[in-house]
Every structure is written in C-alpha cells, then in structure tokens.
C-alpha cells in the first residue's frame, strides 16, 4: 500500500488559522492537487481510527459522481512545516430544519456507512484541538458540527468528547445503534463458529449439503490487484439480479452510481486496499462480497448473490466460509466493520458489536441554545407519546379520539 512514502508526504500549503503551531484551513474539492491527495492517502493509512469512507479513494469518486448538492468543505489540519495531520469532509447545511443558522455536516453519500475525522495517531490531540478551534472561531458562520454514525467509545470519539468538553462545546446526541463487527484477533476460528446460534448454524450446514448435492462448490478470495474487472462485473451483475435491482437501489440501477463504484474500486485496487470473496457452485459465482481496507481495519461494503439460488442462502454461506477461514483471510486486521444496520442478517453470524452514534457538537451560543430547545421538544414529544399510550390503554375510546385530534 505504498506505506514507505507516507512518512515524507507533505501538503506544502499554508493555513489561514493557527493554534499553538498547528494550522487549519478550509478548501473546496477544486483546491486539491496531487501532492495533497497523496498526503491525504498517507494520513488515512496511519489514522488514529481508520475509516475507508474518509479516504480519497472513496471521497473523490463520490464527489465526482454522486455528491449531494450542498457545498463541500475539506478541512485540513497541518503542522508548521506542512505535514497533514488531520482532515474532515463536510457539507454546509442548516443546523435545524426551520432555522437559517448553518452547521457543518459530515459528508455522507448513499454508500457512506461511517463518519468521523482522519487524525494522525501520532499527533491526534493537537489535530482535534485545532479542528475544534477552527470550526468554533468567531465569524466562522458554523453553529455546530454534526456527525452521522460516528463510532462511539473508540479512541477518536473519546478524544472528540475530551477536547470539546475542554473548549466548552456541548454535544447533543440524536441517535444510537449497534453494528456487527468481526474481531479476528479476539477469537480463533473454532470460537467464531461455535458462537453462531445453533439453529442458524444447523440451517446453514443443511443449505450447504443440499447445494453440494447439486454440484461442486468452491470459495475464493481476491486481494488487491487480483480484483480484476471481471470480478467487479460479476459482483455488479449479481447485485442487480436480486431485490436491489427490482427496487432500483442496486449499483447498476443508476449509471452514476455504477461509475462511482467502478472508479472507487479501481482506486482502492491501485493501493492494494480491497478484497472480494466469492462462493461458486458448479463453476459459477453465486455470491460475492466487496470489502474495503484502510489502515489496520477492513470494511464490508456490499454483498450480492444469485436469487436463483436463494433457497440455499448463498449470501450467508459466503460469510460462513469467510468465518471458517478468518485467520488466514482477515486475521491481520484489528477489526472488520460489517457496514450493516442493526438487526441485519450478519448479526446472526458476527456476534461482536460496536456502538455508533449520531449527534452535533454546538460551536456557538446560538447553536447550544437551538440544540437545547430541539432536545426539549423531542423529550416533550416522547412524554406525550408515552402518556397517549397509557391513556389509550385505560380508556377504550381514546385511540379513536387520538386519531381525530392528532393525539396529545
């Protein structure tokens, strides 16, 4: 992944804002040049918390093909000599829907499953401090910084909370969920399989036996440059054959999203930072997964399978094969993020979880007041809904009345 060059990558740029020898600046995507993109790539490789969705290999194709219309800001944190030690990608939107005050919102495409910042693990406290100083400076025009699905409780989240508290910036949480992850270092292969619920494992073994009765099966994994165009095409075709194709949400359903996907995969492939798994039956691929790599972590990005083989659960069998070969296939990663929502099928196979949280750091007094009022409004609505349910249970005629009047 060209790691050796990363120690020497610098941006060679100057910052308009300085905090204790660290500089911060805000540029548009058009201000990126090849040196800065390389520095960004190297930062992603040794970030305190890896995030494939914040790498240039992901962000740049997304900005080119599928970016939402809101203005994009790339915030850079650099040392005095121009070394890039922090980076965030944001869009400017309203802090709250009915008010004109603006906030920075973490960039999120349709295919983004994790937000945050990239900060150099060797200079993370200084980078985060400079970031908050920059976004909360007088006259910035930003009254908050919103993150959607930030990993809760990890080193970056703890640092964000610590620095925000020290700078008297208030955090307002709006949502939380649990996501399945694979921790290859924590469990050996036998343990990974033994942790699967017995009924689920029994059903998968039955599916595998029935599949093998109808022809030979095989499983393979392609790393980096092994991911040829034919591997990518098979994946796209399989995904489009299934329910996502019918629903119009597959990559192939929208030419812009297919262009994004192909360009994004090519970028990760060039740095050896992608792998695909494939399940084969009678020589034909019937299930495939696409996985991105950043630093010491992997990120399960998308899955696809042949709907003609649905009775054999090919998608789950593909994941079972990965677990059975976890040590050799993904044992060198500290974590594999499933990218799934809570309650997805992968929860039945990957039993470790991590918390994800969404919320806003208020960066001005106005921002703090607005978020406090919004929090109070949510609480009132929750209490009203709870009271409505209680009264409905006590008064048989209440549900009809509540529907007519909109409840309490």
What are 176-225's pLDDT values in tens digits?
Answer: 999 999 999 899 999 999 999 999 999 999 999 999 999 999 999 999 99
Q: Give the whole-angstrom CA distance, residue 367 versus residue 253.
A: 40
Distance, CA of 153 to chain centre: 15
For 80-170, list the strands marked E by DSSP.
Answer: 84-94, 102-106, 118-119, 142-151
Cα separation, 361 vs 376, in Å, equals 17
**230 class by beta-carbon count within 10 Å (0-12 exposed, 13-18 middle, 19+ buried):** exposed
Residue ranges of E strands in 36-82: 72-78
Q: Which residues pair with 27 in a beta bridge?
A: 74
Cα separations (Å) of 73 from 32, 89, 358?
11, 6, 20
Model confidence at 396, pLDDT cuts 50, 70, 90, reads: low
Q: Which domains does the chain have, with CATH numbers?
A: 3-176+356-374 (3.40.630.30), 184-333 (3.40.630.30)
pLDDT band at 407 (very low <50, low <70, confident <90, very high): very low
Beta carbons of 237 and 288 less than 8 angstroms apart: no
pLDDT classification of 397: cutoffs 50, 70, 90: low
Under the banding of pLDDT at 50, 70 and 90, the label for residue 9 is: very low
The β-bridge partners of 222 are: 276
CA 276/CA 238 separation, integer angstroms:
13
Question: First CA to last CA across the chain, in angstroms?
Answer: 58
**What DSSP character marks residue 251?**
G
**Residue 303 CA neighbour count, 13 Å, CB half:** 20
Strand partners, 175: 358
| pLDDT of 394 | 62
- The whole-angstrom separation of Cα 175 and Cα 148 is 9
Pair type for strands 84-94 and 284-294: unpaired
If one compares 299 and 377, the residue with the highest pLDDT of the two is 299
Strands (E), 342-399: 352-362
What are the backbone dihedrals phi and psi of residue 219, each rounded to the nearest 5 degrees, phi first?
-140, 140
Count of Cβ atoms closer than 10 Å to residue 283 Cβ? 9
Q: Residues 290, 301: contact at Cβ < 8 Å?
A: yes
Virtual CA dihedral for 396, 400, 404, 405, nearest 10 degrees?
A: 20
pLDDT at 17: 86
- Name the packing angle between helices 398-405 and 365-394 (round to 10°): 150
* pLDDT tens-digit series, residues 359-368: 999 999 998 8
What's the token pair of residue 200? Answer: 């689920």
Residue 222 has phi, psi (to 5 degrees) of -115, 125
Picking from 236, 293, 360, the residue whose alpha carbon sits closest to that of residue 47 is 293
Give the Cα separation of 216 and 62 in Å (integer): 39
pLDDT, tens digit (0-9, with 9 covering 90-100), for 139-175: 899 999 999 999 999 999 999 999 999 999 999 999 9
For helices 255-270 and 229-241, the axis angle rounded to 10 degrees is 140
Rg (CA), the chain: 24
pLDDT of 134 above 70: yes
């Amino acid at each position: 992944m060209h790691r050796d060059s990363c120690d020497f990558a610098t941006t060679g740029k100057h910052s308009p804002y300085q905090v204790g020898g660290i500089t911060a600046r805000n540029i548009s995507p058009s201000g990126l040049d090849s040196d800065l993109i390389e520095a960004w790539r190297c930062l992603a490789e040794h970030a305190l918390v890896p995030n494939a969705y914040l790498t240039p290999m992901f962000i740049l194709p997304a900005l080119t093909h599928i970016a939402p219309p809101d203005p994009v800001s790339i915030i850079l944190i650099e040392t005095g000599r121009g070394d890039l030690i922090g980076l965030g990608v944001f869009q400017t939107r309203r802090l709250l829907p009915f008010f004109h005050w603006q906030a920075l919102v973490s960039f999120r495409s349709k295919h983004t499953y994790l937000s945050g910042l990239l900060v150099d693990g060797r200079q993370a406290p200084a980078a985060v401090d400079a970031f908050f100083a920059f976004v909360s400076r007088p006259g910035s025009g930003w009254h908050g910084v919103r993150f959607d699905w930030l990993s809760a409780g990890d080193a970056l989240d703890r640092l964000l909370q610590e620095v925000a508290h020290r700078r008297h910036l208030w955090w307002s949480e709006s949502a939380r969920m649990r996501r399945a992850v694979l921790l290859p270092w924590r469990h050996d292969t036998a343990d990974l399989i033994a942790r699967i619920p017995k009924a689920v494992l029994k059903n998968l073994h039955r599916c595998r036996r029935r599949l093998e009765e109808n022809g030979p099966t095989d499983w393979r994994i392609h790393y980096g440059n092994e991911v040829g165009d034919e591997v990518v095409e098979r994946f796209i075709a399989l995904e489009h054959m299934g329910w996502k194709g019918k629903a119009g949400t597959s990559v192939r359903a929208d030419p812009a999203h297919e262009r994004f996907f192909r360009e994004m995969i090519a970028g990760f492939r060039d740095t050896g930072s992608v792998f695909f798994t494939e399940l084969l039956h009678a020589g034909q691929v019937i299930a495939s997964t696409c996985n991105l790599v950043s630093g010491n972590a992997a990120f399960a990005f998308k899955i696809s399978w042949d709907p003609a083989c649905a009775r054999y659960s090919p998608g789950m069998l593909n994941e079972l094969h990965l677990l059975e070969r976890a040590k050799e296939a993904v044992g060198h990663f500290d974590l594999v993020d499933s990218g799934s929502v809570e309650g997805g099928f992968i929860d039945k196979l990957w039993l470790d979880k991590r918390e994800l949280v969404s919320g806003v750091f208020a960066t001005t007094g106005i921002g703090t007041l607005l978020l406090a009022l919004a929090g109070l409004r949510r609480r009132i609505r929750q209490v009203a809904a709870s009271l409505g349910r209680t009264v409905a249970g006590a008064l048989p005629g209440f549900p009809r009345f509540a529907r007519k009047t909109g409840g309490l």
